[in-house]
Amino acid sequence: MAVTVGAIRVGLAPAEWKPAEALLGLLGTAAGGATTLAAAVYDGRRARMAARRDEVARLIEGLKWAMYQNDGISPFDLGFAVWTPRRDWLRRCLRRPRRLTDATFRARSKNRHASTGITWTVGKGTIGRCIELKDIVAVDLDALWSRLRGCDEATWMGEDEIEVRQRLTYGEFVKAQGSGTVITGGHVNYVLAVPILSPTGGTVHGCVALDMPPGLVPAQLSEQHYIVEGLRGVADQLG
């Protein structure tokens, strides 16, 4: 566009283009301004996300230290993540459960670092149920699934869809058993998820989740426990 305006000014363009010089100049200025504005918005968004991620990391490190001091739980056995629904407008139009992402924050256990490969959605798994119910959800997957390890698909599909299968397909259940969420001895994790709610409590924005070996879970882990309060502090910061 700038080249065209320049050609008009030096007389290289047809004379009939002369009236359009001012308009083209204005459009060029607007386009340049829009590009600058878009870049500024993008940079600002990245800065905000980085600041939020740093604050979450700071709070999580504090909780790890508290768990080590109070209960002797090694930070290497702990995994933390912030799960939020993706902006899947097509899935929302089709009334399909929204997919979840841990892009905001993820700190995997040093001992169980691999991913399950499962696409988590609202309502699926402990984190999905937490977001669906807008409430704290804690599940000992070892106690829940130990009798089903190695079962066939018919047996799996015969279990309660929500309370036992947690809306996982048989293939996803197999993935969960063979992934990095499996700890020494073939057991799967204890998962605790706390919802991220708006200040009014009416809207859920995701959840903060902790996973750890079931054998390390402190006794009397209630809603008033310091671990739950620590996760709630992270959720409040994000809410």
pLDDT-based confidence at residue 53 (cuts at 50, 70, 90): confident
Whether residues 30 and 101 share a domain: the answer is no
Is position 219 within any domain? yes
Number of H helices, E strands in the chain: 8, 7
Whether residues 146 and 203 share a domain: the answer is yes
Whether residues 94 and 166 share a domain: the answer is yes
* CATH value at residue 77: 3.30.450
pLDDT in tens, 135-172: 999 999 989 998 998 899 999 999 999 999 999 999 99
Whether residues 94 and 154 share a domain: the answer is yes
pTM of the model as a whole = 0.76
Whether residues 35 and 117 share a domain: the answer is no
Q: How many domains does the chain have?
A: 2
Whether residues 40 and 110 share a domain: the answer is no
Is position 210 within any domain? yes
Whether residues 102 and 210 share a domain: the answer is yes
Q: Which residue has the higher pLDDT, 222 or 92?
A: 222
Burial readout 62-99 (b: 16 or more C-beta within 10 A, e: otherwise)? ebbeebeeeeebebebbbbbbbbbeeeeebeeeeebbb
Is position 121 within any domain? yes
Whether residues 31 and 97 share a domain: the answer is no
Q: How many Cβ atoms are within 10 Å of 22's Cβ, its own excluded?
A: 11
Whether residues 116 and 187 share a domain: the answer is yes
Whether residues 207 and 171 share a domain: the answer is yes
Q: How many Cβ atoms are within 10 Å of 3's Cβ, its own excluded?
A: 10
Is position 34 within any domain? yes
pLDDT in tens, 77-117: 999 999 999 887 777 777 788 999 999 999 988 766 567 78
Domain boundary residue among 25, 53, 81?
53
Is position 66 within any domain? no
Amino acid (one-letter) located at 169:
T
Quote the domain boundaries for residue 20: 1-53
Is position 63 within any domain? no
Mean pLDDT, residues 175-199: 75
- Is the separation of the CB atoms in 81 and 101 below 8 Å? no
